[in-house]
Structure 1
């Protein structure tokens, strides 16, 4: 049976790896994004100290949640939180945010900024302040759309992310995992694009072609579209959350 390759950042990969291994599947963890703390958290700490001044805090990923909460000693009563995926919702719940304070897309298969915007009460937010907690870079769609709706938007970086460099160990692992057909869990368009860049560095189009023959499992329609535009033909859209990823793998077992 093929190996399941989990490409999430390490902290989010390990719990999923344990669940998949319990199904009897071989698992390889190959993080395609390295997550690291900011060298200077002054702006982050100062902004989150004023969390209660906002009508809503939006977190772009579980990494944003985990990087922010050391600087939020207590979740302000009644403060709303917005997330795009089930992983981020679970992270907020783990940090003690009440479920009734969390807004996310209604359809787990459409966990992205576009569908989060549909779930938000934009009329109620008009003229009020919203904080988006994210990495040092990212999509501007959420911030731009909120501003267009009359919302006062601030953004703050909570962490930095980067595609791993193509050192000897990473190159050897890529070669090994693309040599045979495997199931790859890819949870970020940025990570997928970075992977293809590293494969091009490794062995040009030949390495990319091997990767394009792999089977991808992706939680979001946007990642599926990125994959198809990059030449992948075996792409399964699972919907957001570990439960759906695991269920999709069980269907293939």
Structure 2
């Protein structure tokens, strides 16, 4: 029986595994990333206190949304008004919307390119003195910043967490192989890096697994690393992943 390796957090994996199981699809859980919240710095505190001076806030992951909202709640009993709030997808937008923020996200695609393709950006990128804050982990999402800066805007990062390899990845990948895994969800370039490092001498074999990715950027990196069978999903949320995996497994 084919079995897919789920590589998000344990909670995310358990939720998706239940949906896959209901469709008769077997899975195995191994978080590739360990996300560690960063201690707030004086510079980050200043960024949050100046939040009302930004025209737009981009939030790039559910973890960034959750940790950023904790900071927002600490410094702004009422969020500043008149700002544009953006999320890369529905999963990231959900906690922002629950908080009461007027968040917008792409209906098709869940990457930086899809976010910047929203019609409002044609107007924002023409605005004099545009200031954008990006909530993210350490590093990543440079395409967003580059496009804003190319239009003459200013970008500041609120970096909220650090990505580290999940614990015992090498032994975990060996156990996944023993359990019959032949496919993997790969949702970021960092996850690809940690997977390849932990696979070590087993990489030539594991690179042959079918690999589902959330967009063309990660797909290109996976192919460059040697992955032989890369499938691009419509995004990184449960619905997009479930649709892609179900289509492949039931075809």
The TM-score with structure 1 as length reference comes to 0.84
CA–CA separation in structure 1 for the residues paired with 2:126 and 2:210 = 43
Q: Is the 8 A contact 1:6 1:29 kept in 2?
A: yes
Out of 83, 88, 94, the residue aligned to residue 90 of structure 1 is: 94
Q: Which residue of 1 aligns with 2:170?
A: 171
Aligned length: 240
Q: Deviations over 1:174-213 (max 9, x none)?
A: 112134342311111211122101111xxx2xx0012112
Q: Is the 8 A contact 1:57 1:82 kept in 2?
A: yes
Out of 214, 217, 222, the residue aligned to residue 219 of structure 1 is: 214
Q: Which residue of 1 aligns with 2:197?
A: 197
Over 3 Å counting, the alpha-carbon distance change for 1:40 and 1:11 in structure 2 is: farther
Q: CA deviation at 1:29?
A: 1.9
Q: CA deviation at 1:224?
A: 1.3
CA–CA separation in structure 2 for the residues paired with 1:84 and 1:40 = 24
1:1-253 → structure 2 map (5 Å cutoff): 1-73=1-73, 74-98=78-102, 101-102=103-104, 104-105=105-106, 107-108=108-109, 111-119=110-118, 120-121=121-122, 122-164=124-166, 167=168, 170-179=169-178, 180-200=180-200, 204=201, 207-240=202-235, 241-251=237-247, 252-253=249-250
CA–CA separation in structure 1 for the residues paired with 2:91 and 2:163 = 18
Q: Deviations over 1:108-143 (max 9, x none)?
A: 2xx322332232233344312111111122242221
Q: Deviations over 1:41-98 (max 9, x none)?
A: 5443442233222111011222111110011124433321122233222342233323
Over 3 Å counting, the alpha-carbon distance change for 1:178 and 1:146 in structure 2 is: same
RMSD: 2.2
CA–CA separation in structure 2 for the residues paired with 1:198 and 1:181 = 16
Over 3 Å counting, the alpha-carbon distance change for 1:29 and 1:141 in structure 2 is: same
* Unpaired stretches in structure 1, ≥5 consecutive residues: none
* Unpaired stretches in structure 2, ≥5 consecutive residues: none
Q: Deviations over 1:128-171 (max 9, x none)?
A: 21111111222422212211101122112111111235x4xx32
Q: Is the 8 A contact 2:4 2:181 kept in 1?
A: no
Give the 3-state SS of the residue equivalent to 2:125 in structure 1: helix
Q: Is the 8 A contact 2:33 2:163 kept in 1?
A: yes
Q: Is the 8 A contact 1:181 1:215 kept in 2?
A: no
Which moved further from structure 2: 12-21 or 219-228? 12-21
Over 3 Å counting, the alpha-carbon distance change for 1:220 and 1:90 in structure 2 is: farther
The TM-score with structure 2 as length reference comes to 0.85
